[in-house]
Amino acid sequence: MSAIDVSALTKRFGQRAALDRVTFEVHSGEVFGLLGPNGAGKTTTVRILTGLLSPTEGEATVCGLSVRDGGESLRRSVGLLTENPGLYDRLTARENLLFFIKLNELEPSAAWMRAASFLARFGLAGREDEPCGSYSKGMRQKLAIVRAIVHQPKILFLDEPTSGLDPEAARTVRDAIAELAADGSTIVLCSHNLFEVEQLCRRVAVIKTKLLAVATIDSLRKADPVLEIHLAGDPARFSSAVASLPFVPEVSVSDSALRVHLQREDQAPDVISCLASAGARIYSAVPTHTPFEQVYLDLIRQQEVG
C-alpha cells in the first residue's frame, strides 16, 4: 500500500523549475531515500509533501490526502525534521516539546510521557530542563527528531538528519532512525550521505530536478554487474577475447584481475567459457557489483551529459 504517491510533480519558482514531472511512490512501513545533489529539488519535494508549498503542476497524495488541499489534516499526518533542527534556544527541551504538543492539541500528560520515553531512548533523559542553546549538535538533532514524532505521525520526513554532525553524533542519530524504522514507521530520508542511505534505506529515488531513477538499492547496483576474474599470467592477454563478446560493454584490468562488465549476472558462465576456450587458466571468478556511490554518480553524470 502506498503511503505517498507522487505523480508528475512540478514546482517552478518564477521561470526556474525546481522539480520537473517527478513521479514515485513510497510504501507503508519502508525507509525511502530521496537522493540528489545540492539544488536537485529534494527539500522542495519534502516541502510539498509536508504541505508547506503547493505544486505548480502534477499531484501528490500523502496518507491518501492531496497535498493541494490536505492542509491541516495532512500536516497532522506527517512529522518533519529539517536540516537545521530549528529549536528555540532560550527555551528548555521540555518547553520546546510542550509547545509542539500544544500546537498538535494533544493531551499534555500522555504526550509528554511519550516524548519522555523517546528522550530516554535517545539518551536525553535528565537534560529536559536545560535550555536547548546549551545542547550539542547531536543532542539538538535528536531532540528535533523527538519533536517531529511526538504527535505520532504516519510518515516522518528527515531532511539531511546528520548534516554537519561529527561521526559519533551522526552514528547516534542514525541509530535513532534505525530504531524508528524497526518500529515500522514510514520514513523519507533526504541525504547526501550515501553510506547512511545504504544502511537505512531499501528503496531510493534519485532526482536532479527530474527523476533519474527509482528502485531498490540492490537492483540499482545489480543493474551493472561486474565479474572479477583472477587468472594465471597476464590477464591483459585475454581482454580482447572477452571484449569481443556482444553482451560485454566494458573490460578493464586491475590488480592482476580482469574486470568484465556485464548486462546481466547470468552472462557470467559465457564469459568463463570464452576464457577457457582462449586457453586461460582461471583461479577464481567472483561476481561483484558497482559501489552504490558509483551508481549514484553515474546517474547524475548521465543526466548532465544528456
Partner 1 sequence: MAFHPRRAVAVFWKDFLDLRKNKGLLWTMAALPAVLVLVPVGIVYGYAHDPGDPSLRTMALFYDPHVQLSVNAARFLIDKTLTDWFGLYLIMPVFVPIFISSQSVAGEKERRTLEPLLASPVTAAEILAGKSVASLVPAVALSVLAFILLCVLVDAVAWPFTHELLLPNQMWLFGVLVIAPLFAFFGNGVAVLVSARVAEARMAQQLSGLVTLPLIGLVGGQLAGLLKAGTVYYAVEGGVVLLLDAALIVATVRLFDRERLISRWV
**Contact residues for partner 1 (CB under 8 A)?**
13, 47, 50-54, 71-72, 75-76, 78, 80, 82, 84, 86-91, 95, 99-100, 102-105, 131, 144, 147-148
> 147 or 221: whose CB is closer to partner 1?
147
Is residue 150 within 8 Å of residue 115, measured between CB atoms?
A: yes
Nearest distance, CB of residue 173 and partner 1, angstroms:
16
Query: For residue 280, what are the contacts with CB-CB under 8 A and spacing of at least 6?
Result: 231, 232, 238
Nearest distance, CB of residue 11 and partner 1, angstroms:
10
Nearest distance, CB of residue 50 and partner 1, angstroms:
5
Alpha carbon separation from 153 to 27, 93, 104, 214, 260 (Å, rounded): 15, 20, 11, 24, 47
> 47 or 221: whose CB is closer to partner 1?
47
> 44 or 191: whose CB is closer to partner 1?
44
Distance, in Å, from the CA atom of 159 to the CA atom of 34, rounded to the nearest integer, reads 9
Q: Nearest 5°: phi and psi at 15?
A: -85, -20
**Burial track 78-102 (b if 16+ CB lie within 10 A, e otherwise):** bbbbbbebebeeeebbbebbbebbe
Looking at the DSSP assignment, which residues form a beta bridge with residue 285? 229
> 186 or 290: whose CB is closer to partner 1?
186
Nearest distance, CB of residue 25 and partner 1, angstroms:
22
Nearest distance, CB of residue 78 and partner 1, angstroms:
7
Is residue 217 within 8 Å of residue 61, measured between CB atoms?
A: no
Distance, in Å, from the CA atom of 282 to the CA atom of 271, rounded to the nearest integer, reads 11
> 53 or 214: whose CB is closer to partner 1?
53
Distance, in Å, from the CA atom of 212 to the CA atom of 6, rounded to the nearest integer, reads 14
Nearest distance, CB of residue 147 and partner 1, angstroms:
7
> 36 or 235: whose CB is closer to partner 1?
36
Is residue 73 within 8 Å of residue 220, measured between CB atoms?
A: no
189 closest CA partner among 1, 2, 4, 13: 4
Nearest distance, CB of residue 168 and partner 1, angstroms:
23
Nearest distance, CB of residue 130 and partner 1, angstroms:
13
Q: Nearest 5°: phi and psi at 239?
A: -65, -35
